Structure 1
Amino acid sequence: MKAVFAFDSFKGSASSASLAGAASEAFLEVFPDAETKCFPVADGGEGSIDAVYLSAGATKIVTAVHDPLMRPLETCYARCKDGSALIEAAAASGLTLLAPSERDPMKTTSFGTGEQIAAAISSGCRDITLALGGTATNDAGIGILSALGYVFRDSEGNALVPPGFSGSGNLAATGENLSRIASVDASGAMPGLAQCRFTLACDVSTVFYGPDGAAYVFAEQKGASPGDITLLDKGLRHFSEIIYGTTGKDISRIPGSGAAGGICGGLLAFLNATIRPGIDMMLDLTGLRKAIAGADIVFTGEGSTDGQTLMGKAVSGICKAAKDSGTEAIVLCGNCGLTAGERRTLGEQGATAVFPVQSGPVTLEEAMLERTVLANVSRTVKEIAMVIKSLQTRHRQH
């Protein structure tokens, strides 16, 4: 018996690695001779670097950058064995870097992520994957591009620069000033940038602006008021027009262009960049796809399995990989919010069965404790393994 364990984190409760470890140990209690492999999982957002670092033997490179409010920060990116780089947008531009009272996508910048990219390019990387997700920004990537040498100007020629760097007449390169941009100057782009290839890994299909765009879908959770959201969306719409006039590219309705506060759309417009579902990228970088293909069964899961799971999340990606290779896929979750139709769809994507792991009524606080989650996952995996073993025994007897 060959089994793979690849869980997304149960956010606020248990890490990807701890869940896989607990599930594997439980399985081995029933099948002590089984060959098991554990993989940390991320879908292209937060946790991507750790997943690659642990599974693919990448090297962590520490860089001195700035956080979304331009405070000094040390963070890292992953340098892979083939010389490519993986950078998490959330590492320098993440929402978790700010206290709740500091969160304001009108005034935050992605400049620090641009500094990480610049450091990778300066070290010789030309193939860069940017994992999008978990950002505190809604600046359409102008902070990143500014760090790479692009200059954005208003109608009077004033440059948009990182917050705190503003000189006389200059504006901050943040979400609140997107509507002020009149021109884009790429003449100062850093050496080597033109030779780079970027993969933008994301797990959402949000477009650039509008009701289904970056501001209306995500800005509230980043601290924006209803009035802010209207202004941010207006800025994104205006910036998309500037992009079209400058590059001839219409990025406004590309699925995923609104990811990470529009970073995805901004980089698609000005860099040699393509979008790829985050989980697909992680399946290949970590070797998980290959491991699933060689296994009899894969256990995966997440804190809440619901309609969002079907839209490119890690669990659905793992189920699809299992289906492609004929491997059984078992999904465990803290809460199952799938409708009957959504459950059928997840089954069509490759899920053999879905099991909520909570065994009885407890408080939400108790249910989300790490020890509770790991115990529930272990118990559920062991019960499933016992069913499998019983069926195997009966099959051999007949």
Structure 2
Amino acid sequence: MSASTVHVVIAPDKFKGTLSAAEVAAALKTGLQASSSAIEVTIVPVADGGDGTVDAAVAAGFSRQSLTAAGPTGEPVETSWARRDEQAVVELADVSGLSQLPGGRLVALTATSRGTGEVIAAALDAGCRRVVVGIGGSASTDGGAGLLRALGVEILDASGQPIAEGGVALAQAARLDLAGLHPALTDPQNPARITVACDVDNPLTGEHGAAAVYGPQKGATPPQVADLDAALTHWADLVAATTGSDRRDVPGAGAAGGVGFGLMALAGADARPGAELVFDLVGLVEAVSGADLVITGEGSLDEQTLRGKAPAAVAKAARDAGVPVVGVAGRCTLDEQVWRQAGFSAVHTTTDEADTPEQSMTDPAPLLQRIGRRIGASLTAGAS
């Protein structure tokens, strides 16, 4: 890189409902490089463990592996996971998530995480020995039971029959048989390791648990929330009695309707913050260390952004490296003082750039190109 070259790292999350992270980055790059040939761009799409996690891994050089698995209602869905050597990235949202509900119909009591277990099993069968599972966006509250059954765990009722799918059926669980757990997870020589990408610290049960906090978002009424919490409590009791360890209050056990609990309690998984884990996969910190500017963002920069979501984590990584960071979003509801405290030196929105309110949602790419040109012009003016 010559002394006159300005190196920009573009590391956005998706603009949900409009553009993927890679599409956001491509539009910004077009604008930046249209403003000056002296701008060198590195694109590092990111995610926080929810939807877009596999896409971010693929953009970082992983290969996409497609398959059909059970959706949250049991109907087959087309999904994918990402692979690089013995490392796999699995995204719950793309198989067991709210977006995979047929017609968007919420089924809080019976939705299952089974399909995510089928994808993990496919990665293990393919020889992967490190599996990262992003668990944001779940449609189910089944304590991870569906996922575990896809990995070979048997969950039986008092008569020795398999229980039904879904969270409320856990109330009928009487016996747990772990003998059939996927052999890759119990291999004494080279056991596979599962890491959960998780950005919430909820326990499995109680007033801050999976059913109480997230059940209503999945369509559960107050009585159904109570039924689900009771079923999850029974499930946690059974798991503790079977394994000799009670993991229901471990931070993150309540993530994704209890998938965090299931993976940690019965599949030996550990948990890490989602954005941090994705950054390791895509090499963000290394990319940022050599930059003159970092651009990040998502569809809405708001209070949720500051609670561990990807753009705030990118801003911290840039700040730690001594590199200024600019935020780009569809909209921003944060006061300037707040976003500056979060590490952003400027924030641009497509809403402010649009000629009409609808344009920001229907055709954001040209608006992002325009923002990129403006950022590029200010960069090269400052360097001249």
Question: Under a length normalisation based on structure 2, what TM-score does the superposition of the two structures give?
Answer: 0.90
The reply on whether 1:50 has 2:41 as its aligned counterpart is no
Q: C-alpha displacement at 1:388, in angstroms?
A: 3.1
Corresponding residue number in structure 2 for 1:65: 69
Q: Percent identity, please.
A: 38
The reply on whether 1:40 has 2:45 as its aligned counterpart is yes
After superposition, the C-alpha distances for 1:288-312 in whole angstroms (9 at most, x for unaligned) are 2211111111101111111111221
The reply on whether 1:230 has 2:226 as its aligned counterpart is yes
The reply on whether 1:390 has 2:356 as its aligned counterpart is no
C-alpha distance 330-101 of structure 1, shift in aligned 2 (>3 A): closer
- Answer yes or no: is the 8 Å Cα contact 1:46–1:88 preserved in 2: yes
Q: C-alpha displacement at 1:32, in angstroms?
A: 1.2
C-alpha distance 145-228 of structure 1, shift in aligned 2 (>3 A): same
- Answer yes or no: is the 8 Å Cα contact 2:351–2:357 preserved in 1: no
Corresponding residue number in structure 1 for 2:17: 12
State the secondary structure of the residue aligned to 1:174: coil
The reply on whether 1:279 has 2:275 as its aligned counterpart is yes
Residue type at the aligned position of 2:74 = M
Over aligned residue pairs, what C-alpha RMSD do you find?
2.2
After superposition, the C-alpha distances for 1:4-37 in whole angstroms (9 at most, x for unaligned) are 1111111112221121111112112333122101
- Answer yes or no: is the 8 Å Cα contact 2:297–2:311 preserved in 1: yes
Match of 2:360 among 343, 367, 383: 367
Residue type at the aligned position of 1:205 = D
Residue type at the aligned position of 1:223 = G
Residue type at the aligned position of 1:70 = G
C-alpha distance 361-15 of structure 1, shift in aligned 2 (>3 A): closer
Aligned partners of 2:138 and 2:356: how far apart in 1? 30
Q: C-alpha displacement at 1:345, in angstroms?
A: 4.5
Corresponding residue number in structure 2 for 1:321: 317
C-alpha distance 72-99 of structure 1, shift in aligned 2 (>3 A): closer
State the secondary structure of the residue aligned to 1:289: helix
Match of 1:178 among 170, 177, 199: 170
Q: C-alpha displacement at 1:211, in angstroms?
A: 2.7
Aligned partners of 1:318 and 1:43: how far apart in 2? 10
Residue type at the aligned position of 1:39 = V
Number of residue pairs aligned between Structure 1 and Structure 2: 375
- Answer yes or no: is the 8 Å Cα contact 1:175–1:235 preserved in 2: yes
- Answer yes or no: is the 8 Å Cα contact 1:204–1:311 preserved in 2: no
- Answer yes or no: is the 8 Å Cα contact 1:359–1:376 preserved in 2: no
- Answer yes or no: is the 8 Å Cα contact 1:252–1:265 preserved in 2: yes
C-alpha distance 118-8 of structure 1, shift in aligned 2 (>3 A): same
Q: C-alpha displacement at 1:206, in angstroms?
A: 2.9
- Answer yes or no: is the 8 Å Cα contact 2:35–2:376 preserved in 1: yes
Q: C-alpha displacement at 1:339, in angstroms?
A: 5.0
Corresponding residue number in structure 1 for 2:183: 191
Residue type at the aligned position of 1:233 = D
Higher mean C-alpha displacement, 194-203 vs 360-369? 360-369
C-alpha distance 292-232 of structure 1, shift in aligned 2 (>3 A): same
Q: C-alpha displacement at 1:100, in angstroms?
A: 4.1
After superposition, the C-alpha distances for 1:186-243 in whole angstroms (9 at most, x for unaligned) are 1222322212210101233333222322222222222222322221122223322333
Match of 1:267 among 248, 263, 266: 263
Corresponding residue number in structure 1 for 2:370: 379
Alignment of 1:305-344 (within 5 A): 305-338=301-334, 342-343=338-339
Q: C-alpha displacement at 1:361, in angstroms?
A: 8.1
- Answer yes or no: is the 8 Å Cα contact 2:35–2:374 preserved in 1: no
State the secondary structure of the residue aligned to 1:359: helix
Match of 1:25 among 21, 24, 30: 30
Corresponding residue number in structure 1 for 2:299: 303
Q: Structure 1: where are the runs of 5+ without partners?
A: 161-170, 394-398
The reply on whether 1:140 has 2:131 as its aligned counterpart is no
Higher mean C-alpha displacement, 107-116 vs 69-78? 69-78
Q: Structure 2: where are the runs of 5+ without partners?
A: 1-5
Residue type at the aligned position of 1:36 = V
C-alpha distance 27-200 of structure 1, shift in aligned 2 (>3 A): same
Aligned partners of 1:296 and 1:242: how far apart in 2? 54
State the secondary structure of the residue aligned to 2:66: strand
Corresponding residue number in structure 1 for 2:3: none
C-alpha distance 305-207 of structure 1, shift in aligned 2 (>3 A): farther
C-alpha distance 13-65 of structure 1, shift in aligned 2 (>3 A): closer
Alignment of 1:178-257 (within 5 A): 178-194=170-186, 195-257=191-253
Question: Under a length normalisation based on structure 1, what TM-score does the superposition of the two structures give?
Answer: 0.87
